Amino acid sequence: MSTRDRERWNEKYASVELHRIVEPDDWLVEALQVIETTTTTSNRRALDVACGLGHNAVWLARQGWTTDGVDISTTGLERARQSAAANGVHVGWTEADLDNWSPRPNEYDVVIVFRFLDRQTVPRVVQTALRPMGWLVYETFSSAQCKRPDNHIRNPDFTLAEGEFSTFFPQFDVVAQREDVLADRTVERFLGRLRASGKA
Structural domain boundaries enclosing 106: 3-194
**In-domain check, residue 138:** yes
CATH number at residue 87: 3.40.50.150
Quick check: is 155 in a domain? Answer: yes
84 CB neighbour count, 10 Å cutoff: 22
Q: Which amino acid is at 181?
A: V
Residue 200 covered by a domain: no
pLDDT tens-digit readout, 149-171 = 888 887 888 888 888 998 999 99
Q: Is residue 101 a part of any domain in this protein?
A: yes
Residue 16, pLDDT > 60, answer: yes
pLDDT digits (tens, 9 = 90+) for 81-133: 999 999 999 999 999 999 999 999 999 999 999 999 999 999 999 999 999 99
Q: How many whole angstroms separate alpha carbon 68 and alpha carbon 74?
A: 15
Quick check: is 154 in a domain? Answer: yes
Structural domain total, the chain: 1
Check residue 162 and give its pLDDT. 85
User: To 10 degrees, what angle do helices 55-62 and 74-86 make?
Assistant: 30
